[in-house]
Amino acid sequence: MKTFFTILYIPINTTFDEKVSIGMIMSDNDTHYFKYSNTKLSVIKGLLNSQSHSILKDYLKSLDKEINQKENLNDTIIYKNSNWINESYISYLSKYSNNLIQFSKPTDIKIELSKDSFKLLFEKYIYKFEEEISETVDLNSVFEKVRKFLYPAIADKVNIERTITSNDFENLFASIEVNFIGKNGAPVSGHTFDFEKKHYSLENDLARYVSLTKAIDLDIKEAGKYFVLGREPKKAIDKNHSLWRQIRDSDFLEFVDIDEIGIVKDYIIKNNVSPLFND
């Protein structure tokens, strides 16, 4: 049976046609193998803006969701019913796909499709075949709930997982990554906190976020809307619960329970929030 493969590239500099190979699809038109390199995806994070990197990461992961069944081959996905994976359509994608992912023209190869042959080609054209553990989403985690239920609804309206530095706001002394940041005239931002982590770490994380809000307000000269996402800690954790209560009762921060993050989504949509940064 005829075997072909296509390489997935991330364009870095379109002027000089610079691109990085990130993944591969290999097929015999019946069974399909797909894998991408998490290591290379992490390495190029500094070459892309945070929103593009987040969209790219989500796109690669979405290929995993196209099917219900997959073989556990070190996180390699074997597609059984993906009709779009054929030479004709891949050729079309190689000519007309100009997004964050580009496909190479399908290449015929005279070897039988197997796990071993796929691994051999992957290591030749992409990267070391990493022995990865499949990612498990813990929906009890405040962070995973934000990524799964909030990001998809607001990704085109804010900057996602943006690192803010003094280059962005001169009154900011220490860089900090926030879950999202945007504007609707005034700045809008939000970050997730684990209120049950060690007290000194929690206190430090919150202090940095508060410093960010003050730096933004000073630079923009307008009070922003700042969300703190999390979950009320156990009352037995006295110091943390006291800190949570201060945040909840704050006049300039709005605490939103992680089970009510629809409040944040609705605010962003209803107030026509847009990304604060054009990067």
- What is the per-residue pLDDT across 97-127, written as a single tens digit (0 to 9) for each? 767 888 999 999 989 888 889 999 999 999 8
Q: Is the pLDDT of residue 42 over 80?
A: no
Domain ranges of the chain: 3-125, 142-275
142-275 adopts what CATH topology?
Trna Endonuclease; Chain: A, domain 1 (3.40.1350)
Beta bridge partners of 25: 6, 34
Rounded distance between C-alpha atoms, residue 26 and residue 71, angstroms: 15
d(CA 170, CA 173): 8
What's the CA angle centered on 156, arms 155 and 162, to 5 degrees?
Answer: 55
Two structure tokens written together for 28: 């015999």
Return d(Cα 91, Cα 115) in angstroms, integer.
Answer: 24
Buried b (16+ CB within 10 A) or exposed e, 31-45: bbbbbbbbebbeeeb
* Nearest residue to 22 (alpha-carbon basis) of 51, 78, 50, 63: 63
CA atoms within 13 A on the CB side of 134: 11
Q: Which SS3 state, helix, strand or coil, does residue 21 take?
A: strand
Instruction: Please say if the pLDDT value at position 138 is more than 70.
Output: no
182 neighbors 212 (Cβ within 8 angstroms): no
Q: With beta carbons less than 8 A apart as the criterion, state whether 209 and 176 touch.
A: yes
Please report where in the chains the tokens 């610079």 appear, as a residue: 18
- The C-alpha atoms of residue 58 and residue 54 are separated, in whole angstroms, by 6
Residue 199, classed as helix, strand or coil, is: helix
Number of CB atoms found within 10 A of residue 89's CB: 13
Q: Residue 212: what pLDDT?
A: 95
Q: What's residue 235's pLDDT?
A: 87
Comparing C-alpha atoms, which of 117, 118, 121, 133 is closest to residue 74? 133
Distance (Å, rounded) from C-alpha 45 to C-alpha 54? 9
For 180-234, the pLDDT digits (tens) are 999 998 999 999 999 998 998 899 999 999 999 999 999 888 889 999 999 999 8
pLDDT of residue 100: 80
Other CB atoms closer than 10 Å to residue 3's CB: what's the count?
A: 20
pLDDT for 133 equals 37
> At 138, is the secondary structure helix, strand, or coil?
coil
DSSP-derived letter for residue 65 is G
pTM for the model: 0.53
What is the pLDDT at residue 270? Answer: 93
- 3-state SS, residue 159: strand
